[in-house]
Amino acid sequence: MIERKTMSKLFDQINKAAEKYRDYTAQNLSDLVKVKSLSKEEGKVQLVLKKQMEDAGFDEVRIDGLGNVVGRIGNGKRILAIDGHMDTVDLGDLDQWDFNPLGGEIKDGFVHGRGTVDQKGGPAVFVTAGRILKELGFDKALTILFVGSVMEEDCDGLCWKYIIEEEGIKPDLVISTEPTNLNIYRGHRGRIEIQIEFQGVSAHGSAPERGDNAIYKASRAALKIEKLNENLAFDEFLGKGSVTISEIVSDSPSLCAVSDYARIHLDRRLTWGETKELAVRQIEDLIKGMDATVKVLDYKEEAYTGLEYGMEKYYPTWKLPEDHDAVMKATSVFSSLFNKKPKIDKWTFSTNCVTINGIYGIPTIGFGPGDEVLAHAPNEKVPVDDLVAASAFYAAFAYEF
């Protein structure tokens, strides 16, 4: 009973501190939004985030070889990591925006601009959480790593592959700060990028019967893929697997010739139980006899630091059981802080968790400010109330962990 009263008093202090830093958190996010940061171009915004962590009193702040900003509080053997990626997609059609996407305007209870939801809001919030922990004299036997990660929009989880394999850091638990509408998320579908190449035989366009048109092969395959999408596996929690064609490219000696080459790019979303091998085999079965090949693509690009790094573009499905200790702990923290029960849910899109949990099996939960429907959309904005609540949650979770 004494311990519960003590924690209740502590959580009250955390909530008050988060509210006290409402304007501070919003302004930090505004400053991050003003620095455009596409994948592989995050260098300038990382320096801003690094300084924010340093000013908040973190024990250590550094930038690793891939360009992730890693802040640390504490020195315990157990490691809690809080992750948020700092790269964003581009601005898109500016005519669809009602405000400057790089303005970082704070107005009517929102911070406006590209990345407020996906996904600079999370890092701005965890800076405040770190500041609160330092002010409260956090002294648990725990190391908390606050990671402003890179290149997520280009390659989900590549940043964490680097942290785990090259830095040798494997946390005991990770919180992803991707937008969850302040719900607790415990999984999402995986994905895989597949390419199909079709070979044909060119002939003069005036006598197409002399050739073998690669575009026709690709078109027949496309109709089969459309049908495949209707019949993929279903999971009660994660939903149905899906596949769509996101690009088709062709070539021929001229516009007066039969196409001798075509290529299809597939975005395949994997529900629970669907694997890379299954997804590839399904496509191979569809193109038998078409003189076509299937391959899973690789990603290998140069980070803003100059380091070239990569991985296969297979991002495994993941989920935690609803009664997993991490989910239960997050539920307890949420209920104690906000006096209501959280919604336990999942993301529709993919996140760094495909690597953290999907490949390396590290327990992972999601909790972040903002609504994912605004990710990659015009007029992206995040409620300041969400920023306040999330900063309290991260600080409180550190005490409970």
User: Active-site residue numbers?
Assistant: 87, 152
Residue 193 near residue 267 (C-beta atoms within 8 A): yes
CA–CA dist 56, 259 (Å, integer): 60
Token couple for 147: 């990671």
CA–CA dist 58, 157 (Å, integer): 25
Chain centroid to Cα 324, Å, comes to 22
Provide φ and ψ at 206, rounded to 5°.
-80, -15
Chain centroid to Cα 370, Å, comes to 14
Residue 108 near residue 174 (C-beta atoms within 8 A): no
CA–CA dist 13, 7 (Å, integer): 10
Q: Using alpha carbons only, what angle is made at residue 268 by residues 177 and 96, rounded to the nearest 5 degrees?
A: 60
Which residue stretches of 2-120 are H helix?
A: 2-20, 22-33, 43-55
Please tell me what DSSP assigns to residue 342.
Answer: P
C-alpha separations of 195 from 218, 280, 301, 319, 340 in Å:
11, 10, 18, 27, 47
- Which residue do the tokens 């979303």 mark? 269
Burial-class residue 134 by CB neighbours within 10 Å (0-12, 13-18, 19+): middle
Q: Which residues contact 105 (CB under 8 A, 6 or more apart)?
A: 30, 99, 111, 112, 113
Q: Which residues contact 230 (CB under 8 A, 6 or more apart)?
A: none
Q: Which residues contact 233 (CB under 8 A, 6 or more apart)?
A: 240, 241, 271, 272, 273, 274
Amino acid found at 182: L
Please tell me what DSSP assigns to residue 67.
Answer: -
The enclosing H or E element of 107 equals strand 106-107
